[in-house]
Amino acid sequence: GAGVSQSPSNKVTEKGKDVELRCDPISGHTALYWYRQSLGQGLEFLIYFQGNSAPDKSGLPSDRFSAERTGGSVSTLTIQRTQQEDSAVYLCASSPMAVAGWRETQYFGPGTRLLVL
Amino acid sequence: DQQVKQNSPSLSVQEGRISILNCDYTNSMFDYFLWYKKYPAEGPTFLISISSIKDKNEDGRFTVFLNKSAKHLSLHIVPSQPGDSAVYFCAASGSGGGADGLTFGKGTHLIIQP
């Protein structure tokens, strides 16, 4: 079946512009996660959704970052007034369901490579 | 402050030999650990996981060992094959329920030499 898909695969933007990144999780997966990987770094957790709600937004780097999920499926990560330090690979992952105390494997998409000039 | 550490940025192993990738963690609340493999320009692919109630999990050529007292885990690949050349990430999950984000190490680039 189809895996996690992300669009665009690459994005080049100018400092100060807004960008929107999209994630389509695996069909039927309830939980959705956003991460970013800066050059030479590991993956940094940003936010997760259980259905359409995001219980904890404290992982977002600044108030320029926001995310939403509608219909329990597609999610968008928006970065306003982009800065050069926002340049990174933004990865989305999904898992079947998120139940307290239950450990699940997260399945990743290919990522969106963002370059802010 | 890195909670998951992979201290070897790269590792070179001969084809057919055993590859051992190491990972250390500091947060005693972590109770689920995963290894992901990543090729360039692709997202991480899940390899194998282990719960803190176990000390070993095996899947084909891949075995993960967990030493809770040392807060250390390792991934063994035997025999190593050319297709194993990739970046390997260690990840950990805490007690925030099944939906908490994973904490990743910075990765180890494994190079399998013919």
> What is the reported pLDDT for B98?
46
Pair A4, A90: CB distance under 8 Å: no
Q: A61 φ, ψ to 5°?
A: -65, -35
pLDDT for residue A103 is more than 90: no
CB of A77 less than 8 A from some CB of B: no
* Residues 6-65 of chain A whose Cβ lies under 8 A from any Cβ of chain B: 31, 33, 35, 40-48, 50, 55, 59
Could you give the strand order of the β-sheet that contains A19-24, starting from the edge strand earlier in sequence? A5-7, A19-24, A75-79, A65-69
Only one residue has tokens 């590991």, namely A42
Indicate the SS3 state at residue A56: coil
B69 CB-near residues (< 8 Å, 6+ apart): none
B53 CB-near residues (< 8 Å, 6+ apart): none
Structure tokens at B103: 């904490």
Tens digits of residue pLDDT in A7-63: 999 999 999 999 999 999 999 898 899 999 998 888 999 998 888 888 778 889 999
> What is the reported pLDDT for A72?
82
DSSP A25: P
Q: How far is A33 from chain B (nearest CA, A)?
A: 7
Chain B residues within 8 A of A42 when measuring between CB atoms: 4, 6, 89, 104-107
Chain B residues within 8 A of A100 when measuring between CB atoms: 97-98
Tell me which amino acid residue A21 is: L
Indicate the SS3 state at residue B92: strand
Tell me which amino acid residue A31 is: A
Confidence of residue A101 (pLDDT cuts 50, 70, 90): low
Structure tokens at A113: 């490579």
Closest CA to B66 of B22, B11, B1: B22
**Among partner residues B49, B91, B99, which is closest to A31 by beta-carbon distance?**
B99
Is B105–A42 a contact, with Cβ atoms under 8 angstroms apart? yes
Only one residue has tokens 């306003």, namely A80
Query: How far from chain centre, in Å, is Cα A3?
Result: 15
In chain B, which stretches have pLDDT less than 70?
95-100
